Chain A
Amino acid sequence: MIVLRARPLVLMVLALIPLALASLLIGVADLSGAQGGLILSISRWPRTLAVMLTGAALAVAGVVMQELVRNRFVEPGTTGTGEAAALGLLLATLAFPEAGIGTRMIAASLGGLAGTAVFLSLIRHLPPQEVLLIPLTGLIWSGVLGAVVLHIGWQTDLIQLVGIWLMTGEFSGVIAGRYELLWIAGLAAGLALFAADRLAILGLGDGVARGLGLNPEAVMRLGLVIVAVVTAMVMATVGMIPFLGLVVPNIVSRVMGDNLRASLPVTALAGAGLLLTCDIIGRLLIFPYELPVSTVLGVLGAGVFLWLLWRRPGHD
């Protein structure tokens, strides 16, 4: 029983090791040269770590979002969280040009928090059996927020910055000193592992949660903070990465169910593995040039997701 439970986890770790090694070895520069150690510590290792942290955190944030909303077809990228975080970051950048990185990250997280809270209140009165209304509302809401961000970006000549946040998530610019915020995303996702039972109980409904002595609002707030912080850090460091938070949790749930205590660590590792795979593909496909990881993931993820939608019998 215990062995059976541990197996997906072991499998994931075993798959991640060669992927990480490959990621360390792939690149234009030759590691065996005099600069090899330096390249490894300044560029390859940070990049590999950044990809894994991002993948793990986004996959966990996807699960948390799905438990909060009790709907499988949402993730922070389709509920306005990313756009709202970008709006928070943009407004902070405009209002306090001198502000340090800490202040700006808090602004981004608060933006994400507010945007997601508005989304949750928008969907509160939707009939739960209409499964697709919720992601649809999310797409509209994130579209509206995205348009606002772009408009302000144009007006203030910050469109290039905004473009990096919202459009293409990619890791080619990651070097030591430019990715460390992602550790905060990783920590926030780690918080979800500790709250796994509470989040899973929240997913059973407010009534069941209350009946078991849990305060649904408190768990909801914790989940919101996790989602907002993960999204804000990723958005500000490498840009938005679509689909990951949707695809990975859905596949893991298909295979091992939603007992988060057992499945969340697997989800995190699977997220890291998938993003690393996409990053490696992006680096190899037109070597020595690169494709952004979000482009690779977009193609791969859309394919997987369509397949998921197609084989899922309506509503079960």
Chain B
Amino acid sequence: MIAVSDVHHHIGQAQILRDITLTLPAGKITALIGPNGAGKSTLLSLVARLTPLQQGQITVAGLDVQRAPSRELARTMAILPQNVAVFSRLRVRELVAFGRWPHHQGRPGPQDAAKVAAALHDMGLDDLSHRFLDQLSGGQRQRAHLAMALAQDTPWLLLDEPLAALDMAHARALMQTLARLRDSGKSIVMVLHEVNYAAAWADHVVALKAGRVLAHGTPETVFAPDVLGALYDTRLRVIRQDGRPLVLHHL
């Protein structure tokens, strides 16, 4: 599990996160939701030790993210940051292969090649693997970065808005892949912009607003109309579809 305790974060004078104490369950898909600027990306990048922790403590599978060796952390969690932009002119396969770095540190073996091939396949990139990244569309590039995170093959997968730029079919395919990974024992934490993906696929939901946890728990508890309405400051309706909440907000 991921344990976040007593985390505060500020940038300059602005308080970005206040008093966050949470546990995120292992073996589940956890969705982080909340309005723009709520602090979702900040929280995820603190967990992934991309941003230095200012106060509090975070452990991932028992490893203190501030103290554990960086290679061990890299074999425990993979992170897809929000809006990654890459200047390098790499082929898709070369980018994805870098995901194996924490395991082989420069001496890739046949097992590494197999994981790269599997990740490319899972993201539907078989036919694009020899293309340069600058010859891809935004969504294809996003899938290449996702494949890199998948190739890292870590027990924990942290994804910041992985569906951003993906079309419906690829978004659904990604969620199915993630559900399959969850069923094989992996743990996934993802920031989701579109609440209905969280409603349909997440096992656990954390709702952040203005740097605080507004609610967390099963989709059933978080997707109550009054909770969700307060979260996004908007009028909406929640119905049930196939045993899952479905949010209607085009009213």
Contacts and interface: CB of A to CB of B under 8 A. Distances in A.
A205 B86 contact: yes
Given A207-B79, A257-B132, A212 B88 contact: no
A207 B45 contact: yes
Interface in B100-119: 101-102, 106
A211 interface: yes
Interface stretch (A20-28, A93-101, A195-203): A195-203
Given A213-B75, A259-B94, A204 B50 contact: no
B101 A208 contact: no
Contacts of B79: 207, 211
Contacts of A204: 84, 86, 88, 95, 98
A254 B86 CA distance: 16
A212 B102 contact: yes
A200 B88 contact: yes
B134 interface: yes
B103 to A, nearest CB: 10
A213 B87 contact: no
B94 to A, nearest CB: 5
Nearest to B72: A213
A203 B133 CA distance: 14
A210 B84 contact: no
A257 B94 contact: yes
Nearest to B107: A197
A210 B90 contact: no
B45 A213 contact: no
Nearest to B93: A259
Contact of A253 (B86, B89, B94): B89
Interface in A259-273: 259
Contacts of B45: 207
Interface residues of B, number: 31
Contacts of A200: 88, 90, 98
Contact of B71 (A67, A213, A258): A213
Interface in B7-57: 45, 48-50
A214 B101 contact: yes
Interface string B119-145: 000000000000010100000000000
A258 B89 contact: yes
A45 B135 CA distance: 45
B74 interface: yes
A: contact size bracket: 20 to 34
B158 to A, nearest CB: 9
Nearest to B158: A211
Nearest to A259: B94
Given A253-B89, A257-B94, A211 B84 contact: no
Contact of A201 (B50, B71, B101): B101
A215 interface: yes
Interface string B199-213: 000000000000000
Nearest to B145: A208
B195 to A, nearest CB: 26
Interface in A280-316: 316
Nearest to A71: B87
Contacts of B78: 211
Contacts of A67: 88
Given A212-B74, A213-B73, A214-B70, A128 B102 contact: no
Interface string A203-238: 111111011111100000000000000000000000
Interface in B142-159: 152
Contacts of B132: 257
Interface string A176-203: 0000000000000000000001001101
B70 A215 contact: yes
Interface in B170-203: none
A257 B92 CA distance: 11
Contacts of A259: 90-91, 94
B169 to A, nearest CB: 26
Contacts of B90: 200, 257-259
B168 interface: no
Given A213-B70, A258-B90, A207 B99 contact: no
Instruction: Give the residue among A67, A205, A213 with the most B Cβ atoms within 10 A.
Output: A213
B219 interface: no
A212 B84 contact: no
A203 B91 contact: no
B251 interface: no
Contact of B102 (A213, A253, A254): A213
Interface of B: 45, 48-50, 70-75, 78-79, 81, 84-91, 94-95, 98-99, 101-102, 106, 132, 134, 152
Given A197-B98, A204-B84, 8 more contacts: A67-B88, A200-B90, A207-B81, A210-B70, A257-B90, A257-B91, A257-B94, A259-B90
21 contacts: A71-B87, A197-B98, A201-B98, A205-B84, A205-B85, A207-B45, A208-B81, A208-B86, A210-B50, A211-B50, A211-B79, A212-B74, A212-B101, A212-B152, A213-B72, A215-B70, A253-B89, A257-B88, A257-B94, A258-B90, A259-B90
| 3 shortest interchain CB distances as A-B pairs | A213-B74, A258-B88, A213-B71
